[in-house]
Structure 1
Amino acid sequence: MWSSALHFVLPVFSVAWALLKLCESLRRRLANSDKAIENLPGPPPLSFWRGNFDQIFDDNAWDFHKDIALTYGNVIRVRGPLGTNQLFVFDPKAMQHLVVKDQHIYEEATHFVAGNNVIFGAGLLSTLGDHHRRQRKMLNPVFSIAHMKGMVPLFYSVTSKLRDTLALKVSSRPTEIEMHAWLSRTALELIGQSGLGYSFDSLTDDGHQHPYSSSVKALSGTFVELLFARHYFFPLVYKIGSRRFQRFVVDMLPWRSLHDLRDIVDCLHKTSSEIFEAKKKALYQGTEDKEVGGGKDIISVLMSANMNASEADRLPDSEVIGQMSTLTFAAMDTTSSALSRILWLLSKHPHVQEKLRQEICQVHAEHGDLGYDDLVALPYLDAVCRETLRLLVLHLSFRFKLNFSLIRYPPIATLTREARHECILPLSKPVRGLDGQEMTEVLVPKNTKIYLSVISSNRNPDLWGPDSFEWKPERWLSPLPESLNEAKIPGVYSNLMTFLGGGRACIGFKFSQLEMKVVLCVLLQSFRFSLPRDKNIFWKMTGISKPGVEGEQICGTDPAQPKLPLVVSVLDAGRL
Structure 2
Amino acid sequence: MSTILLVFLSGSLGWLLWLVARNFVTTSPLDKIPGPKSASLLKGNLGQLLDRHGWDFIEHLGTRYNKVVRLTGLFGHTMLYVFDPKALHHIIIKDAEVYDLPEWSTDGANLTLGPGLLSVHGAHHRKQRKMLNPVFSIKHMRMMTPLFYNVAHKLRNGLEAQVGNGPTTVDILNWFGRTALELIGQGGLGYTLDPLDSPAHNEYGDAIKEFLPALFESSQFQPLLKYAKRIGSPAFRAAAMDWIPLPGFRRLKQVVMKMDSEARRIYELKKDNMQAGDQGLLKQVGEGKDIMSHLLRANMAAPEEDRLPEEEIVGQMSLLVMAGTDTTSNSLVQLMQLLSQYPKVQESLRAEIKQAQEQHGDDIPYDVLVSLPYMDAICRETLRLYPPPSFIFREAQKDIVMPLSEPITCMDGTVMNEIPVPAGTTVIVGILASNRNVEIWGDDVAEFKPERWLSPLPASVTEAHIPGVYSNLMTFNGGGRACIGFKFSQLEMKVVLSTIVSSFKISLSDEAEDIVWNVAAVRYPTVGKDSTKPEFPLRLEPIKV
- Bin of the TM-score, shorter chain as denominator length: over 0.9
In structure 1, how many angstroms separate the alpha carbons of the residues matched to 2:464 and 2:398? 26
Pick one of 270, 275, 300 that aligns with 1:279. 270
Residue by residue, what CA displacement relative to the aligned partner does 1:412-432 show, whole Å, maximum 9, x if unpaired? Answer: 111111111000000001110
1:86/1:564 CA distance change after superposition, 3 Å: same
Please state how far the C-alpha of 1:62 moved relative to its aligned partner: 1.6
Residue 538 of structure 1 pairs with residue 516 of structure 2: yes
Write out aligned runs for 1:558-569 (5 A): 559-569=531-541
1:32/1:102 CA distance change after superposition, 3 Å: farther
Q: Counterpart of 1:150 in 2: which secondary structure?
A: helix
In structure 1, how many angstroms separate the alpha carbons of the residues matched to 2:97 and 2:77? 23
Matched residue type, 1:113: T
Please state how far the C-alpha of 1:54 moved relative to its aligned partner: 1.2
Residue 50 of structure 1 pairs with residue 27 of structure 2: no
Pick one of 436, 450, 453 that aligns with 1:476. 453
In structure 2, how many angstroms separate the alpha carbons of the residues matched to 1:139 and 1:213? 22
Residue 371 (structure 2) aligns with: 377
Pick one of 316, 329, 333 that aligns with 2:322. 329
Matched residue type, 1:546: Y
In structure 1, how many angstroms separate the alpha carbons of the residues matched to 2:37 and 2:243? 38
In structure 1, how many angstroms separate the alpha carbons of the residues matched to 2:264 and 2:13? 35
In structure 2, how many angstroms separate the alpha carbons of the residues matched to 1:541 and 1:164? 32
1:414/1:41 CA distance change after superposition, 3 Å: same
Write out aligned runs for 1:388-467 (5 A): 388-392=382-386, 410-467=387-444
Matched residue type, 2:211: L
RMSD value, Cα: 1.4
Matched residue type, 2:542: V
| Alignment TM-score, normalising by the size of structure 1 | 0.92
Residue 155 (structure 2) aligns with: 162
Write out aligned runs for 1:151-230 (5 A): 151-204=144-197, 206-230=198-222
Please state how far the C-alpha of 1:304 moved relative to its aligned partner: 0.8
Residue by residue, what CA displacement relative to the aligned partner does 1:7-31 show, whole Å, maximum 9, x if unpaired? Answer: 1121232133123213313433455
Matched residue type, 1:564: F
Please state how far the C-alpha of 1:82 moved relative to its aligned partner: 3.1
Check conservation: 1:528, 1:570, Cα contact below 8 A.
yes
In structure 2, how many angstroms separate the alpha carbons of the residues matched to 1:146 and 1:492? 19
In structure 1, how many angstroms separate the alpha carbons of the residues matched to 2:149 and 2:337? 22
Residue 83 (structure 2) aligns with: 90
Matched residue type, 1:258: F
Please state how far the C-alpha of 1:252 moved relative to its aligned partner: 4.0
Residue 13 (structure 1) aligns with: 7
Q: Counterpart of 1:124 in 2: which secondary structure?
A: coil
- Which sections of structure 1, spanning at least 5 residues, go unmatched? 1-6, 393-409, 554-558
In structure 2, how many angstroms separate the alpha carbons of the residues matched to 1:413 and 1:424? 25
Q: Counterpart of 1:118 in 2: which secondary structure?
A: helix
Matched residue type, 1:365: E
Check conservation: 1:460, 1:468, Cα contact below 8 A.
yes
Check conservation: 1:51, 1:80, Cα contact below 8 A.
yes
Matched residue type, 1:74: K
| Alignment TM-score, normalising by the size of structure 2 | 0.97
Residue by residue, what CA displacement relative to the aligned partner does 1:22-65 show, whole Å, maximum 9, x if unpaired? Answer: 33134334555422x11111111212222111111111222212
Check conservation: 1:33, 1:84, Cα contact below 8 A.
no
Check conservation: 1:33, 1:85, Cα contact below 8 A.
no
Matched residue type, 2:19: S
In structure 2, how many angstroms separate the alpha carbons of the residues matched to 1:240 and 1:193? 41
Check conservation: 1:194, 1:297, Cα contact below 8 A.
yes
Please state how far the C-alpha of 1:255 moved relative to its aligned partner: 4.0
Larger deviation, residues 238-247 vs 53-62: 238-247
Q: Percent of aligned pairs with the same residue?
A: 44
Residue 367 (structure 1) aligns with: 360
Alignment coverage as a number of residue pairs:
541
Residue 256 of structure 1 pairs with residue 286 of structure 2: no
Q: Counterpart of 2:502 in 1: which secondary structure?
A: helix
Q: Counterpart of 1:58 in 2: which secondary structure?
A: coil
Residue 570 (structure 1) aligns with: 542
